[in-house]
Amino acid sequence: MTDTPRPTTKRLLKLAGMTARISGHAARDRWQRLWQDGSVRNAQDAALYTRIGTEIAATLGEMKGAVMKVGQVVSQYRDLLPAELVDALTRLQNDAPAQPFSAILPRLQEAFGPDLNRHFLDIEQQPIASASLAQVHRARLHNGREVVLKVQYPGVDAAVAADLKQLKVALKIARVLPVKNDILDALFREIEQSLKAELDYRIEAAAIERFRHYHADNPRIVIPAVLTELSNTRVLTLSFEPGDSLGQLDERYDQNLRNQIAATLFQALGRQLYQFGEIHCDPHPGNFAARLDGSLVIYDFGCIKKVSPHILRCYANMTRAALAGDSAAIEHGLIALGARQTEHTPALAASFYRPWLDLMQESFSEEPTDFGRFPLAERVIALSRESLPHWRAFQPVPETVMVNRALGGHYWNLRQLGAQLALRPLLHTVLPTP
């Protein structure tokens, strides 16, 4: 009798098939380029990246766990990936479909024993949230306290290394990342370390306690409490802290209240980055909720990045330079950060930075900006396209991957909130003294 392939083997076969198909697309493209002029090649590039993105999204969309999570992370790097590839990958940003309660029951019994009633009066079988690595269920303790259980899907921890390796191979073959292999390897090591930490709920529990302590001076920030005695590596029990998702606020939240919540979010993020040295790096709107008293609830501390003092200084210096419109200081800051590839392009003229600085001045103004209407993302994409001839002058900095993900993602939260904020005064409240 033939053995049934283990789930890990099935995953590898799916990913290997995806890689083979991508390799075929790339090989045909390289052959066709030999006979085509520049204008045709540009169109060919767009078509190739769309096919590759669709292939990756279709395969990863069928698979839970680390590989879908990595696809979600990769899809957010519009400054690194071709736009056509990102557009195809954005479908992975949708919440993953939930698994039936029977699928996660072994995780709960592993944590609490076969008789769950010893600890819980009841557990709702329908999850209130689901993602690529876990899902969340409401429950009630015997003393009446309402809690939530974050339950990791069985098997995802074992698939991390294999999934990441296969996806990295696919991207290398596709040649869609304009970086050296050693930098690509470093980027994936950063993602792998982040995912391994996210899969150990003891690490998340410790992070929750640190952030609760740091934000304890702000009554407008609510972070669930950890029930340590009911938590382990794969199940995390937290106090139930209800709120309305930032993407689904109704007419009860008028403009003033939306602005207040957006300001709290912006300043919390700024304090974490510039002062605390740790930042919550998963900007998914489902990880943040609003309350009618103006408070902000922050969930899911699995993806946290500790930022080195050097990186913090670089970010602060470049932020001040951008506010001052100083292109020379921006160039110096990018070189210090490691983001400027000076071997290829020793220097960039001030004229290159001017449109970006103008956009920064508009975004971080002394007067309120209506983020529900201000086309910041569209203008960034347009400027990125115009800057394509200079792409090789830049390279990603692995240590900033998760930080940039957070900063870029929270722009969309401000946009969803329809925030009308003057960001420059708020930024000055969190920037450290030079």
- For the chain, give the number of residues: 434
Q: Are 89 and 71 in contact (CB under 8 A)?
A: yes
User: In this structure, how many other beta carbons lie within 10 angstroms of the beta carbon of residue 383?
Assistant: 13
Q: Are 287 and 300 in contact (CB under 8 A)?
A: yes
Report CA 273 to chain centroid distance, whole Å: 15
- The question of whether 282 is a catalytic residue gets the answer yes
Q: Are 97 and 65 in contact (CB under 8 A)?
A: no
> Any idea what DSSP says for residue 279?
E
Q: Which residues of 343-376 are buried (b: 16+ CB within 10 A; e: fewer)?
A: eeeeebeeebbeebbebbeebbeeeebebeebeb
Q: Which long-range contacts (CB under 8 A, 24 or more apart) does 385-392 make?
A: 385/83, 386/355, 387/352, 390/345, 390/348, 390/352, 391/178, 392/178, 392/341, 392/344, 392/345
Query: Which residues contact residue 404 at a Cβ distance below 8 angstroms, ignoring those fewer than 6 apart?
Result: 77, 79
Report CA 79 to chain centroid distance, whole Å: 14
Compute the 3-state secondary structure of the chain and give helix, strand, coil in percent, each to the nearest 5. 60, 10, 30
Quick one: tokens of 23? 């390799």
Kindly name the residue from 29, 163, 282, 300 that is annotated as catalytic. Answer: 282
Quick one: tokens of 72? 């979600």
Distance separating alpha carbons of residues 301 and 72, to the nearest angstrom: 17
Distance separating alpha carbons of residues 427 and 237, to the nearest angstrom: 35
Q: Write the single-letter amino acid at 101.
A: F
Distance separating alpha carbons of residues 271 and 224, to the nearest angstrom: 19
Find the radius of gyration of the CA atoms of the chain.
23
Q: 222: helix, coil or strand?
A: strand
Residues known to be catalytic:
282
